[in-house]
Every structure is written in structure tokens, then in C-alpha cells.
Structure 1
Amino acid sequence: MQKKAATILILMLSFVLVIAGCGSGNQNKKDNQGQNDTKKEEAAGNEAVSGASKTTYTPLDQLQDKYDIIIVGAGGAGMSAALEAKSKGLNPVIFEKMPVAGGNTLKASSGMNASETKFQKEQGIEDSNDLFYEETLKGGHGTNNKELLRFFVDNSASAIDWLDSIGIRLNNITITGGMGEKRTHRPEDGSAVGQYVANGLLKNVQEQEIPLFVNANVKEITEKDGKVNGVKVLFDEKDEKTITADAVVVTTGGYGSNMDMISKVRPDLEGLVTTNQEGSTGDGIQMIEELGGTTVDMDQIQVHPTVQQDKSYLIGEVVRGEGSILVSNEGKRFVNELDTRDKVTAAINELADKSAYLVFDSGVKSRAKAIDQYEKMGFVIAGDSIEALAQEMGVPADQLKTTLDTWNNAVKDKNDAEFGRTTGMDNDLSKGPFYAIKIGPGIHYTMGGVKINTNTEVVNKDGEPIPGLFAAGEVVGGLHGENRIGGNSVAEIIIFGRQAGVKSAEYVQAQ
């Protein structure tokens, strides 16, 4: 009986293998490659996502003449808006001018700030929305739009819950500059937040069968009888079409890659590198202004203190949040590394060559998984000992050792007598090998943008909503005031992206 059962099982397995083997050899190679890619992503903790660059987007022959809602821009805010609109029973479409979805969201590395979250409570972190509000207001020098800020902090925990409900879990919590509590939520394995969130959102967009067209450059937002009614889109730089809709949501990001716009309001920033992806050129702001929308804080442009200069690549705040320090070319600390970005940038600019080194040990490297990517890109200098690292850095070995000894004592005593740092001091820097990354300031984020209300409706100079026009994400100004806190941009795109999807859906349903 057992032999018979075994024979039947072998025959069944053979049949399955024959079926699986059908098809071209090239297809088998593609399937095997896909399986290998999937395994690699699972190993990195990204089981639920696939890379944006490997994604198949909606083909142009599926384009319709009309949709309920048009979303301009496929970053985190745009995809969040699309998912919420779809959940309300609407038919949204996303137009993205770049060849892949993700926008600047793909480049975010530190995490997503949120207060009073379930993950904080699970880990015994006591936090409050009021504290988050006050620290963000202080970080923005008191110039933040208080209504937007209040909505932002009060809806941050629900945004974490929403992401978790769609397979995007951010339960690894660290801290960023200007914050007094651990509220910066990261992927479970501590890896960079941007690709994980963007790819997770994209996966959900595809599962919900929301059309997403790339190489689709929206050139104009149209209106009729005082109401926004669609867009003009240039496909593949040659084929322009007019698509109508009952509402348009603009999530095109900021203007960090448009040096003409930047130089007009901040000529002092000319010559700095930018961490922004090349699609961040302010298109959405310009189109909204043509419809009577107004802007705020356009001269408030954040320069991030830790940017790898050769490739204009952001070294995320998580590296400092997990315990690294900044040293000068003399091997000395010179600033509270987790002060607000504007103050850390100013301290670096006061150094002779306006550059510094992030110095950390293997403990930081194990906790901040983004460093693995920096290492692959060739940014990381290593040494088995502090002296060996100093030699690689070209700084005095005795001074670097003194600096690290002093810092490690400060961590032990929980007292940074030199610069008053109080956060990111859970672990000292004593576990070799030791590492460093050379950094300098770079243009990172544009706090300025169009004015909206808490319903994400774009408002005119009189504060009145422009019917049918919504906006969310970095295209919007006011939330951050004069200085953005690290971790607040990812929070902004999810919180206000969701709100734009909900409110644009309500608007359409009321028509």
C-alpha cells in the first residue's frame, strides 16, 4: 500500500514538473531571476514589496478619457491618496512624469515620525501628541502653520496603523535631531524607510488595480466654470492628451532640483549639491499658481548637514540617532550631532573646509541598516582599530582616540559636558571595527510650497478653496516653518496624502 502511494506521488510530482517546465527557456530565466530577486528582498526584510524599477506600469493603450480623480505624482503622497480614494469607491488614476514611481520618497532613509503609536506603547516609549507638536513647532522656530501641524501630529499614529494594515510595518523606533523621544518609525530590520514604504505602497496600488502611467508629464491643470476639471498630459515627451476628472490632487513634490527657482529666492545656496531626485522641479507649484493658488515660505530651503558630496547622496539622520558622532578634520567633535538640521549645518559651515566625518562603530552599523547601502556605494571608510580608522581618514590618531574616549565616558555618565547632547546615547562607540563617512551640507528639502487647509484643499490669496483642486506632500508649504525635523517628511506624505484621497473623494461624491 505504501509503495503504491509512493508511486502515485512520484507520478504527480513528475506531472507538475513537466507543466512547470513548459514555455521558453528565456521565460524560465526570467522566472528564476524573479525568484532570486524575491529571495534577496525577503532577506532584507522587504517580503511585501518589489523594486519600483522592476515594476510593470499601466500601458498607454489602457488610458481612459475620464477618471473620477487625477493624481499628479506617484510618490508616497500620491499613492496614499490613490489608495484612499479607491477605498471610497472612486476611480483614480496616477500620472508620473518620471520613468519609475516613488519620487523623493525612494530616497528617504531615517524613518517616519509619529506619536502615541501602538508600537511605541508596545516598547514602553512614553510619548504624546502635544510633545510632538511642541518639539516640531520649536524646530520650525515657531513659524509653522499651527492648524496643519495640529492635524499632522494628531493623525500620525493612525497613519502608522494604516500602513501596518496594508503590509507596511514600521515598528523599529529610533530618534532624530530636535526630538526628545523615540518616535522615528522604521522597517522592522532597521533598513532605509523610503524604498520600503514606496515599494509597499506601489504593491498595494497594483493590487487595487489603480492605473499608474509613467513618463506622463502633466503640463497643465484645466478648469471650466471655475472648477478644476482635468489635466493636459504629455506622454513619452511627444503625445499630448487632455484627460478630464472631477478633482485633481497634486503631489508633485518640491523644487529641490530646480536651481533656477532656488537661486531666485536663495542665491546663497548656488553651488551646493542637492539630494533631490531630478523630477523635483516645482512643476506642481507653478501649475497651481496659474490657477490662482498662492505660496508660502518659498525661501525656506533646508540644507541637510550630512550629504556625501561626490554623489550628492543623503546620509540619513538615523546614523546619528543610533549613536554616531561628528568630528572635524582635526578629529574633534564640534557640535551636538542631534541638534536641529539648521544648527548642525551651520556648525559644519564654520569649519575650515565645510566638511566633517560621521564616526561610528560596528554597533551603529548593525542597528542602522541604511549603512549597508552606503557601504555598497563606496562611502564608508573602515579600520580595525581607532588608530587604523584615523589613518584612513587622514586625521590625528591620538586626537580621534581622545575624542572617542571622551564621548564614551559621556555616554556612560549620561552627560555630554562638551555640547549638551541628550539623545542617541544608548550605546557607546567601542565595538570595532570602526567606520567613518565624509560628509558636507547639501540642499535637501524645500519647506515652501502652495497653501492648503487641513482638508488639503488648495486655497487662493483670499484663503478660499479652489474647487476640485487638492495638494499634499512637499509641494505644500507651511507645515514645517523655517526648519523641518528629520522624519517629518515621510509622516507628512502619508498623513496628508491619505487626507487628500479622502477629501477629494468626498468632493467628487458631492458633485
Structure 2
Amino acid sequence: MSRILIDDLPFDLTVPVAIVGGGAAGLCAALAAKEAGVAPIVFERDALPQGSTALSAGLIPAPCTAAQRAAGIADSVAAFAADIQKKAHGDADPTVLAAVTEGAAPAIDWLTERHGLAFTVIADFSYPGHSARRMHGLASRSGAELIDRLRAAAEAAEIDIVTEARVTALVAAPDGRVRGLVVTRPDGSEDRIGCDALVLACNGYGGNKDLVAEHIPALKDALYFGHPGNQGDAVLWGRALGAELRHMSGHQGHGSVAHPHGILVSWAVIMEGGFQVNVAGERFWNEASGYSEAALAVLGQPGGIAYDIFDARIAGIARQFEDFRRAEAGGAVLQAESSDELAARLSIPPQVIRATLESVADLKRRGGRDGFGRDWTGAVDLEAPYCAVKVTGALFHTQGGLAVDATARVRRPDGSLLPNLFAAGGAAVGVSGPDASGYLSGNGLLTAVVLGRIAGGEAARLARA
């Protein structure tokens, strides 16, 4: 249980900067703190730092990076910010938006040049809502590789990462200053660790069914595809300390999780000209809207099930993602040499599948928007062999959280700052606004990496002062 202790008892150890959580946000915070001249300690509840980062595709959007320039891609911070704000319907937190869009390229280049993470840009397809190709990933295009490389960088920097160390309480002074924390080990023993500054990088509350039911009731029974440790500790501690909570209903869903395999299927299969049908074989929405809002669209269909329909050409593009290769290896990706064979494999009447395929082909030939609002201009026709994946919708992670200023310091409702508390990643409010439809591809790792870097550096400066 997340507790706040108000006491003046001594600590077993005192450190300048303590970081709760060993995902992308926590490890970036640790690297930045170490470079700012202090020795941070990361407390991670699992035996190996992974978090939600390991479950993601590991993609981070950023404009004007060295990798983007090398790929000949023109972009700007202003265009990136406009894309995020447009997707969020104008509701993105302006302070966080400015901080992460301006800090994205420096963060990517920093990880590449200083820590050897060889990011490249996905240049063969565009993610919905992005006006430029700015998604950066490592070779495998997987979050597992990203977290492994960040952990290796932290180890190379001789940063202490204490694993199997669950932070169960914060120790605070009456004015809200965090004096330290209580760490509980698997055997039930506890350590009291004092700190000069604390960074909360323990993600959001997606694994806490009560909080999900309170803030995102439409997904209270949905599959949760995030880390089970995301129990909302940061927002519960922050709320108890008097912090402001913002956009708590904001979240990232996904409407392309292979069922029952539980493997993410890249939205590239849709954006390159694929589409979704329900179990009756009929399209039911504008698939180009985005994969986050796809969760509710798919869950609203009979049985909460849909099929991604695409072809071998698109499968070749999606195969650059490790998750898609796993889905193929696990038998989630069905193949058919004809529309009739596709219908048989999906147990849908052949005339229905033929009609849907012909309707989409006609829309692509004519261009323009269909009745759902999807623009098919320039889309390439599907050709046999066809591919299909049975999918469902899921909640990936929450986007609401603790309000922060431009230095990632946690704010109170009156605008004042808590003395030494910082938040990054899912612990802090994101830039997606209050709705699932506000989530732009990569928003989660964007705030994890950039706010993490900011929080670590600023916490170190505060501790040194």
C-alpha cells in the first residue's frame, strides 16, 4: 500500500537523489543525474528493470535529430508540437508540451552520442497524426532492446540499481518536503532511505482496477497490456502530499492486440492500406484515426473482437518489428491465397469478405474519404495472398498524472511547487489531454525519456544546492 509517513525518525542511509522505477524514465533520470554530478540510486520493484518500456515498441518521436537529418527528413519543433496539440484537440498540457517537444531531439542525440544507443528513423511508413517521419527506434524496433540498452548504459555509468526493492511509503515533512522513502524487500524487511530529492518514475495506474474504474470506466473490464506494477503509487503519494492531478482520464489504448496470443500487432498493417472488420466481416470505423481510440472501437464490436486485414506486401513492412515476427511465429498471422480462403479461415461468409475487399479497392481507386471519414487517397490496393490477425482492444498505459512545471517539479493546485519532488513518464501528466483520442503515437516514451532526463538533471542540481 502506498503510504505517507510524517516523522523525524533517522534513516539507514541517505542519498542525494532517489529514483523510484527502473523503466525508461527512471534510467534516463539516473543517467542525467550522474552527469550532473551526483550519485543517484534507482529502486526497482522487479528482479530486472523492465517496466512498461519493455512491453512497448520502443519508438520515440523527435524532430530535427541527427538521425532524421541523415535520412533527409525535414521537420521542426513547431510542427511536432502542432501535431501533438491537434491530436489532443488543443488540450495538451502546454508546459509539458513545450518541455518535451523542445527536449526530444537533444535527448535522442544525447542517448545516441553519449550512451551508444543507435537510433534510426522509421522512414518507410508514417504513423497517424505525424506530419513528418520522426519515430526513432533501435535495430529490433522493440521496447525490450531499448530497456536493455538503457540498463547497460546505467551500469556502464556505475549507477546503483537496487532491484526487488518495492517502495511502499514516502517519508515527508509537514511542508510536503520528501525526507526519504521506505523500501520493502521480498522477505518483508524494510529499509529507510533518506534523500535530498526524489524522482517518481514508477509509471501510471493502469494496473489498479479501482483507479481505472474511477477515471476510465469504459475500460474497467478491458485487457490491461501494461506492467502489473503500475498501481498508481505516484499519483496516490502525490495526492496525499497535496499535488495537483491532471487529465486523469487520459490514456493510451490499442485496438490491435492479437487474440488470444496477447501480442501487439503494429498499426503499420492498417496505415499502409489495411483495414479492420468485425466478426460479421464488415468495417465499422475510420481506422486511420489512431490505434489508441481503436481500443474502444474494437471493444464495441461483438465479442470485443475484430480482424486486421492486409496483404503480404504490408506484412513485409511490419516484419521489421519484433512483435510482428513473434506474432507470425506464434501463428497469429493467418494467410490466404484468395478472398474465399480468407473468408473460410475467418469463418465469415465469402460473399461478405469479397464485398468488403471490393469496396475498399474501389475507395482506393477513387481516392477521397469514405463514409467513416477515412481518406484513401494514394493508398495501394491489397493483393493476394491476404493476411489477417484476430485482435482485441486493450489499455496500455494511463496518460494522466501529477502536474509538473518545465523542470519536472511537481505542482500544487495553486501553482506552487512541492519542495523536492519530481515526476516523469507515466507518473506525470502527459501531452495527450483527457481522452484516448488525444494520444499521438509515441507520446508515452516521449514523456518518459525527455521528462526523465529533465527530472534527473534538475533533481541533481537541487540536491547539490
Superposed pair shares fold, TM > 0.5: yes
- The match for 1:208 among 135, 148, 157 is 157
Q: Which residue of 2 aligns with 1:467?
A: 419
Q: Which residue of 2 aligns with 1:15?
A: none
- Aligned partner of residue 182 in structure 2, secondary structure: strand
- The match for 1:373 among 322, 326, 338 is 326
Q: How does 1:311-460 map to 2 (within 5 A)?
A: 312-341=262-291, 343-368=293-318, 369=321, 370-408=323-361, 410-411=363-364, 415=368, 417=370, 419-422=372-375, 427-430=380-383, 432=385, 434-460=386-412
Alpha-carbon separation, structure 1, partners of 2:211 and 2:51: 19
- Aligned partner of residue 231 in structure 1, secondary structure: strand
Offset of residue 242 of structure 1 = 0.4
Alpha-carbon separation, structure 2, partners of 1:428 and 1:87: 51
| 1:145 paired to 2:93 | yes
Alpha-carbon separation, structure 2, partners of 1:153 and 1:447: 16
The letter for the 2-side match of 1:376 is A
User: Could you say if the C-alpha distance between residues 318 and 499 of structure 1 is closer, same or farther in structure 2, counting changes exceeding 3 Å?
Assistant: farther
Q: Which residue of 2 aligns with 1:282?
A: 232
The letter for the 1-side match of 2:425 is G
Q: Which residue of 1 aligns with 2:8?
A: none
Alpha-carbon separation, structure 1, partners of 2:431 and 2:457: 19
Q: Which residue of 1 aligns with 2:166?
A: 217
Offset of residue 255 of structure 1 = 0.7
Alpha-carbon separation, structure 2, partners of 1:349 and 1:273: 10
- Aligned partner of residue 425 in structure 2, secondary structure: coil
**1:377-417, CA deviations, whole angstroms, 9 ceiling, x for partnerless residues?**
44222224443233211223344344445545655665454
Alpha-carbon separation, structure 2, partners of 1:423 and 1:270: 34
**1:298-352, CA deviations, whole angstroms, 9 ceiling, x for partnerless residues?**
2334432223343554434343344432122233333332213465345435534
Structure 2 segments unaligned to the other structure (5+ residues): 1-10
The letter for the 1-side match of 2:26 is G
CA RMSD of aligned residues (A): 2.6
Alpha-carbon separation, structure 1, partners of 2:152 and 2:418: 32
CA contact (8 A) 2:235 2:427 kept: yes
Q: Which residue of 1 aligns with 2:59?
A: 111
Q: How does 1:126-205 map to 2 (within 5 A)?
A: 126-165=74-113, 166-173=115-122, 174-188=125-139, 191-205=140-154
- The match for 1:497 among 448, 452, 456 is 452
CA contact (8 A) 1:175 1:424 kept: no
CA contact (8 A) 1:108 1:194 kept: yes
User: Could you say if the C-alpha distance between residues 383 and 260 of structure 1 is closer, same or farther in structure 2, counting changes exceeding 3 Å?
Assistant: same
CA contact (8 A) 2:12 2:192 kept: no
- Aligned partner of residue 288 in structure 2, secondary structure: coil
Q: Please say which of residues 257-266 and 447-456 is displaced more in the overlay.
A: 257-266
- The match for 1:235 among 175, 185, 204 is 185
- Aligned partner of residue 285 in structure 2, secondary structure: coil
CA contact (8 A) 1:299 1:448 kept: yes
**1:353-380, CA deviations, whole angstroms, 9 ceiling, x for partnerless residues?**
4321112222222222231022234422
Alpha-carbon separation, structure 2, partners of 1:110 and 1:410: 33
| 1:486 paired to 2:447 | no
Alignment: residue pair count: 445
User: Could you say if the C-alpha distance between residues 420 and 260 of structure 1 is closer, same or farther in structure 2, counting changes exceeding 3 Å?
Assistant: closer
- Aligned partner of residue 392 in structure 1, secondary structure: helix
What TM-score do you get using the length of structure 2 for normalisation?
A: 0.87
Alpha-carbon separation, structure 1, partners of 2:38 and 2:250: 36
The share of aligned pairs that are identical, in percent, is 28
Alpha-carbon separation, structure 2, partners of 1:505 and 1:395: 60
User: Could you say if the C-alpha distance between residues 363 and 419 of structure 1 is closer, same or farther in structure 2, counting changes exceeding 3 Å?
Assistant: same
The letter for the 1-side match of 2:103 is N
The letter for the 1-side match of 2:143 is G
Q: Which residue of 2 aligns with 1:39?
A: none
What TM-score do you get using the length of structure 1 for normalisation?
A: 0.80
- Aligned partner of residue 224 in structure 2, secondary structure: coil
**1:92-140, CA deviations, whole angstroms, 9 ceiling, x for partnerless residues?**
1110112221200111127222223333333333322222212211221
Alpha-carbon separation, structure 1, partners of 2:158 and 2:310: 44
- Aligned partner of residue 46 in structure 2, secondary structure: coil
CA contact (8 A) 1:297 1:477 kept: yes
User: Could you say if the C-alpha distance between residues 336 and 211 of structure 1 is closer, same or farther in structure 2, counting changes exceeding 3 Å?
Assistant: same
- Aligned partner of residue 185 in structure 1, secondary structure: strand
Offset of residue 481 of structure 1 = 0.6
- Aligned partner of residue 390 in structure 1, secondary structure: helix
Alpha-carbon separation, structure 1, partners of 2:377 and 2:29: 34
Q: Please say which of residues 402-411 and 174-183 is displaced more in the overlay.
A: 402-411
Q: Which residue of 2 aligns with 1:56?
A: none
